[in-house]
């Protein structure tokens, strides 16, 4: 199966470098066509030369649409370069690393068996219908005929859900990348939630994925590599060796699993579609 991997990047050039290595060395189940779209060059963030051989199509945008619109800009531009023979497209943030690609093959198979379902990603919010955009698998034909799905400014995850509703596109959840957040009433430090204001997990043991923003980690990039090694169960990054990987992985699963027991809004109230007013 030929699959397009659309990676967007602004300033996380180091993350991109390591992510491309992970993809090249551990994603072996499909034929991947890697598209990288960057809008950081004008601000001094250039893709490293050593990354170039691992990219099939590099798209450099000279103008940056800014923080609110930048993500949309990257996706909409990258969508123009998806090859005709790629039935599925994975959209990926540069800082989202996943060891091996069994999850991709699993959800491609499920999408192929459900003709009306066009999108697969994690459930993002408890209150609103919202779908994660850091890691999502989409039927490419749907993107080609509905590029507006990436035309957002605020609340991209809610925009995606609203757009799918309005175009009769169904979705499925990638449960291995859930839960994403602890409930908003958790105001104190919680394990594996490095920024409690955001309330988000950045490790997902079931899919062997790390998504950390390194500025949230005291150990920076080395700590992120260590987390990746724990989830991978191997020293993929030899400079960040971790002892007792099994124990560390158990702790991740325990604390993330425990959060499923926390009282949630969805237990007593149905999700709603968020009304988004664009400028």
Q: pLDDT class for 93, splitting at 50, 70, 90?
A: very high
Instruction: Return the pLDDT at 279.
Output: 62
Q: So what's the pLDDT on residue 278?
A: 67
Q: Which residues contact 245 (CB under 8 A, 6 or more apart)?
A: 229, 230, 233
Confidence bin at 122 (pLDDT 50/70/90): very high
CA-based nearest residue to 14, from 195, 203, 215: 215
Query: In whole angstroms, what is the distance from residue 192 CA to residue 174 CA?
Result: 20
Q: What pLDDT, on the 0 to 100 scale, is given for residue 161?
A: 97
Q: Which letter, b or e, does each residue of 4-32 get, where b requires 16 or more Cβ atoms within 10 Å of its Cβ?
A: bbbbbbbebbbbbbbbbbbbeebbebbeb
User: Domains in the chain, ordered, with CATH?
Assistant: 2-175 (3.90.550.10), 203-265 (no CATH)
- Do residues 135 and 174 touch, judged by C-beta distance below 8 A? yes
Tell me, what's the pLDDT at 67? 65
Question: pLDDT tens for residues 25-40?
Answer: 999 999 999 999 999 8
pLDDT at 265: 84
Residues 77-105 have a mean pLDDT of 97
In this prediction, residue 69 has a pLDDT band, given cuts at 50, 70 and 90, of: confident
Q: What number is the average pLDDT over the span 3-32?
A: 97
Sign of the four-CA dihedral 264, 116, 69, 71 = positive
Q: Look at residue 49 in the predicted model and tell me its pLDDT.
A: 96
Distance (Å, whole) CA 90 – CA 4 = 6
| Measured CA distances, 175 to 60, 205, 209, 259 (Å) | 33, 11, 13, 14
pLDDT cut 70: percent of the chain above it: 98
Pairwise CA distance, residues 180 & 229, whole Å: 21
Compute the average pLDDT of residues 145-156. Answer: 93
């Amino acid at each position: 199966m030929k699959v397009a991997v659309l990676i967007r990047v602004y300033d996380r050039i180091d993350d991109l470098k390591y992510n491309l290595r992970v993809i090249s060395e551990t994603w072996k189940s499909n034929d991947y066509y890697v598209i990288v779209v960057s809008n950081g060059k004008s601000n001094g963030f250039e893709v490293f030369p050593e990354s170039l051989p691992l990219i099939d199509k590099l798209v450099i945008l000279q103008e940056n649409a800014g923080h609110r619109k930048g993500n949309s800009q990257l996706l909409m531009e990258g969508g123009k370069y998806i090859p005709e023979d790629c039935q599925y497209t994975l959209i990926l943030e540069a800082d989202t690393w996943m060891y091996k690609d069994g999850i991709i093959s699993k959800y491609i198979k499920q999408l192929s068996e459900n003709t009306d379902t066009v999108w697969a990603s994690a459930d993002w919010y408890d209150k609103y219908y919202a779908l994660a955009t850091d890691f999502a698998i989409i039927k490419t034909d749907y993107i080609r005929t509905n590029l507006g799905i990436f035309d957002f400014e605020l609340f991209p995850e809610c925009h995606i859900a609203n757009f799918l509703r309005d175009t009769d596109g169904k979705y499925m959840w990638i449960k291995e990348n859930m839960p994403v957040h602890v409930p908003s009433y958790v105001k104190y430090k919680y394990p594996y939630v490095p920024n409690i204001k955001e309330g988000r997990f950045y490790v997902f043991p079931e899919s062997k994925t790390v998504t950390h923003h390194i500025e949230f980690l005291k150990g920076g990039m080395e700590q992120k590599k260590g987390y990746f090694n724990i989830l991978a169960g191997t020293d993929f990054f030899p400079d960040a060796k971790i002892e007792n990987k099994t124990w560390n992985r158990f702790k991740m699963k325990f604390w993330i699993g425990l959060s499923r027991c926390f009282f949630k809004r969805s237990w007593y109230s149905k999700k709603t579609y968020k009304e988004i007013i664009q400028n």
